[in-house]
């Protein structure tokens, strides 16, 4: 820190990212509430623990190799160059620890880590009540510490090859988090199969209602809250043109998106709320007031507009959110009926389809705008965005999930046995619970009898 | 040619104002937004009226007694 202004900027930036991490914790609380509410009573604790344990597993693997991937894989490697220098972010680097010369790496790492949890948690909800925890946790590490962070290196970095070559623009991660996680969930679901009883003999889907709609909706409210932190974490809060080192002239400081192109917190505040509103309004009407889909539609609205929410006009964000929500709702039911996909929480639709559509729409809305403040980068364009959406949803999402699920299924490691599914995943813990209750009751009765 | 007039960030930011796409269409956007808002009320009222009509049609004393008891 060279002078007082540098010191103030550094400490402000450090605190800014720290606060976003705290906010983003609420996303995970929300996902846990949501999943438990959506599961049936005999599966509660298993569902909760399945999601909870992805936290430590993704955290330690993101420390060991995920964060290094982000810095080292910006060129592919092998697409626009070789492995980039990620040594400062390798787990043995002194700056990946307590270090007075680097106050930002820790909080920046944590902000990305919370995105990693989110990616894994999106998959978690769709596969409830029939996946083995052991299989899910392998998937959680792969999506959370490998595949999403590869796509971030490619398309969510100032130096990413997709930004340079395709003009890829995805400021608040429609594709980078949501499309990839939705695609990944679909890849698992195709192999995993539906919950028992989900489809009638003639293939008609049955609704499996959440056991606690209140918990589901409050969980989704919590995710909205955490989403504010997510949005803030996607920005650099204050930076000078000199520090960007691109083509921007003058001395006006600005907030930027992840590509270091100018935006404002005001812009994303407008657009977050307007796209949320567009999604909620469309979802309420199209689902005929169904609470689960209305709340999910709010999320889908934000997710669809996220790719360009650093640049859209708020009314544009509202319409884009509405369009994405309508498409996601219709696609969910079409895919369920046509392909017999049992997505328990609609994650493939809300995150995957809405994210994919959002990336594509941004290509048209932002056509010709600079994707970066640096020279030589492709401008934002529809073809680049479409290819980018396919890479996110299909190449880095669906494909690896499908292959790994096939491998796990071939060894009998993916799905729980049918009898266990009927008995309920909490069978073991419920037996222990009941035994403990019986034991305490017997002890208390014995004490009570002494007083008679 | 770009949808917001910016083709490069080689500018001094103190000289830049709005950067959203399709500037000049604000009034059209507001009108479209108002139509969307009013349309939503119309559509929602129709859906609600149908739901209430269904509830009215399905009314029977025994069921409503259960609903009252359930509180």
Encoding tokens for residue A348? 């493939």
* Mean pLDDT, rounded, for A165-194: 98
Asked whether the beta carbons of residue B2 and residue A367 sit closer than 8 angstroms, the reply is yes
Chain B closest-CA separation from residue A94 CA (Å): 35
Q: Which residues pair with A262 in a beta bridge?
A: A256
Using a pLDDT cut of 70, give the percent of chain A over it. 100
Residue B16 lies in a domain: no
CB-CB: which of A263, A281, A285 is closest to B47? A285
Helix (H) or strand (E) holding A239: strand A236-239
- The whole-angstrom separation of Cα B53 and Cα B31 is 33
What backbone torsions phi and psi does residue A84 show, to the nearest 5 degrees?
-80, 170
pLDDT exceeds 60 at position A236:
yes
Q: How many alpha carbons lie under 13 Å from residue A366 in its C-beta half-sphere?
A: 35
Nearest residue of B to residue A375 by CA position? Answer: B8
CB-CB: which of A247, A262, A315 is closest to B29? A315
For residue A204, give the DSSP letter: P
Asked whether the beta carbons of residue B3 and residue A369 sit closer than 8 angstroms, the reply is yes
For residue A115, give the DSSP letter: H
Chain A closest-CA separation from residue B41 CA (Å): 10
- The whole-angstrom separation of Cα A261 and Cα A270 is 18
- Closest C-alpha to A148, from A73, A236, A98, A209: A73
Encoding tokens for residue A333? 């039911």
Within a 10 A sphere around the Cβ of A94, how many other Cβ atoms? 10
Per-residue model confidence as pLDDT tens digits over A348-402: 999 999 999 999 999 999 999 999 999 999 999 999 999 999 999 999 999 999 9
A281 touches chain B (CB under 8 A): yes
- Closest C-alpha to A426, from A158, A41, A108, A71: A41
Asked whether the beta carbons of residue A319 and residue B1 sit closer than 8 angstroms, the reply is no
- The whole-angstrom separation of Cα A342 and Cα A2 is 57
Asked whether the beta carbons of residue B12 and residue A289 sit closer than 8 angstroms, the reply is no
- Closest C-alpha to A215, from A25, A36, A8: A36
Rounded-to-10 torsion of CA A140, A141, A143, A146: 180
* DSSP SS3 for A238: strand
pLDDT of res. A2? 65
Residue B55 lies in a domain: yes
DSSP string, A30-89: HHHHHHHHHS-GGGHHHHHHHHHTHHHHHHHHIIIIIHHHHHH-TTTTTTSSS----GGG
Asked whether the beta carbons of residue B1 and residue A369 sit closer than 8 angstroms, the reply is no
Per-residue model confidence as pLDDT tens digits over A312-326: 999 999 999 999 999
Q: What distance lies between CA A191 and its chain's CA centroid?
A: 21
Q: Could you tell me the pLDDT band of residue A3, with boundaries at 50, 70 and 90? A: confident
- The answer to whether the beta carbons of residues A199 and A340 sit under 8 Å apart is yes
Q: What is the side-by-side order of every strand in the sheet holding A254-256?
A: A236-239, A254-256, A262-263
Most distant CA pair in chain B, distance: 75
Per-residue model confidence as pLDDT tens digits over A247-289: 999 999 999 999 999 999 999 999 999 999 999 999 999 999 9
Nearest residue of B to residue A255 by CA position? Answer: B13
Nearest residue of A to residue B31 by CA position? Answer: A315
pLDDT exceeds 80 at position A1:
no
Q: What distance lies between CA A293 and its chain's CA centroid?
A: 18
Number of independent structural domains in chain B? 1
Alpha-carbon distance values, A365 to A263, A273, A308, A312, A442 (Å):
16, 19, 8, 8, 70
Chain A closest-CA separation from residue B32 CA (Å): 9
Encoding tokens for residue A43? 């599966």
B7 touches chain A (CB under 8 A): yes
Asked whether the beta carbons of residue A247 and residue B8 sit closer than 8 angstroms, the reply is yes
- Closest C-alpha to A313, from B32, B1, B19: B19
Low-confidence ranges of chain B (pLDDT < 50): none
Nearest residue of B to residue A287 by CA position? Answer: B47
Average pLDDT of chain A? 96
Residue B65 lies in a domain: yes
Fold for domain A9-238+252-434?
Ammonium transporter fold (1.10.3430)
- The whole-angstrom separation of Cα A176 and Cα A150 is 9
- The answer to whether the beta carbons of residues A200 and A194 sit under 8 Å apart is no
Contacts of A380 (CB under 8 A, 6+ apart): A167, A168, A169, A362, A363, A366, A367, A368, A369, A370, A371
Q: Which residues pair with A370 in a beta bridge?
A: A379
Asked whether the beta carbons of residue B21 and residue A369 sit closer than 8 angstroms, the reply is yes
- Closest C-alpha to A154, from A141, A164, A144: A164
Instruction: Enter the ipTM.
Output: 0.91
Residue B54 lies in a domain: yes
Helix (H) or strand (E) holding A285: helix A265-286
- The whole-angstrom separation of Cα A57 and Cα A113 is 11
Q: Please state the domain extents for chain A.
A: 9-238+252-434
- The whole-angstrom separation of Cα A30 and Cα A220 is 6
Q: How many alpha carbons lie under 13 Å from residue A312 in its C-beta half-sphere?
A: 34
- Closest C-alpha to A310, from B20, B18, B15, B4: B20
Nearest residue of B to residue A249 by CA position? Answer: B12
Alpha-carbon distance values, A434 to A42, A47, A254, A444, A447 (Å):
13, 19, 60, 15, 20
A368 touches chain B (CB under 8 A): yes
B49 touches chain A (CB under 8 A): no
Q: Which residues pair with A220 in a beta bridge?
A: none
Residue B36 lies in a domain: yes
Q: Domain limits at B62?
A: 24-70
């Amino acid at each position: 820190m060279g002078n007082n202004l540098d010191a103030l900027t550094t400490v402000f930036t450090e605190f800014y990212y720290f606060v976003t991490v705290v906010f983003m914790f609420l996303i995970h609380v929300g996902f846990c509430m949501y999943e438990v509410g959506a599961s049936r009573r005999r599966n509660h604790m298993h569902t909760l623990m399945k999601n909870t344990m992805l936290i430590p597993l993704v955290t330690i693997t993101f420390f060991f190799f995920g964060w290094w991937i982000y810095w080292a894989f910006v060129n592919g490697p092998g697409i626009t160059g070789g492995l980039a220098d990620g040594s400062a972010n390798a787990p043995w680097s002194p700056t990946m620890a307590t270090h007075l010369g680097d106050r930002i790496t820790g909080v920046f790492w944590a902000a990305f880590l919370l995105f990693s949890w989110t990616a894994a948690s999106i998959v978690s909800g769709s596969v409830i009540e029939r996946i083995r925890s052991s299989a899910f946790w392998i998937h959680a590490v792969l999506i959370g510490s490998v595949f999403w962070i590869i796509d971030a290196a490619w398309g969510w970095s100032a130096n990413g090859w997709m930004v340079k070559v395709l003009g890829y623009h995805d400021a608040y991660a429609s594709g980078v988090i949501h499309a990839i996680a939705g695609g990944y969930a679909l890849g698992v679901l195709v192999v995993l199969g539906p919950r028992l009883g989900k489809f009638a003999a003639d293939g008609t889907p049955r609704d499996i209602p959440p056991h606690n709609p209140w918990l589901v909706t409050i969980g989704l409210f919590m995710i909205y809250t955490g989403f504010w932190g997510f949005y803030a974490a996607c920005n650099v809060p204050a930076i000078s043109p000199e520090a960007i080192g691109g083509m921007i002239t003058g001395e006006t400081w600005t907030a930027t998106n992840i590509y270091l192109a100018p935006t404002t917190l005001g812009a994303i505040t407008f657009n977050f709320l307007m796209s949320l509103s567009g999604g909620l309004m469309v979802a309420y009407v199209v689902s005929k007031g169904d609470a689960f889909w209305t709340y999910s539609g709010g999320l889908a609205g934000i997710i669809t507009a996220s790719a360009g929410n650093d640049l859209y006009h708020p009314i544009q964000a509202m319409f884009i959110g509405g369009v994405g929500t309508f498409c996601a709702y219709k696609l969910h039911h079409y895919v369920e009926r046509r392909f017999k996909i049992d997505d328990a929480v609609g994650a493939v639709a809300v995150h995957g389809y809405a994210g994919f559509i959002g990336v594509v729409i941004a290509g048209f809305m932002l056509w010709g705008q600079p994707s970066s403040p640096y020279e030589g980068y492709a401008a934002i364009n529809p073809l680049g965005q479409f290819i980018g959406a396919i890479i996110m949803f299909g190449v880095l999402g669906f494909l690896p999930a499908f292959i790994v699920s096939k491998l796990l299924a071939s060894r009998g490691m993916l799905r729980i046995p049918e009898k266990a599914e009927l008995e309920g995943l909490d069978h073991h813990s419920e037996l222990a619970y009941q035994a403990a209750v019986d034991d305490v009751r017997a002890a208390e009765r014995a004490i009570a009898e002494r007083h008679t | 040619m770009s949808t917001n007039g910016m083709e490069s960030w080689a500018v001094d930011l103190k000289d830049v104002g709005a950067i959203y796409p399709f500037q000049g269409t604000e009034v059209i956007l507001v009108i479209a937004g108002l139509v969307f808002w009013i349309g939503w009320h119309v559509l929602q009222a129709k859906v609600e009226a149908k739901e209430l009509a269904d509830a009215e049609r399905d009314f029977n004393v025994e069921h409503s007694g259960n609903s009252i008891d359930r509180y």
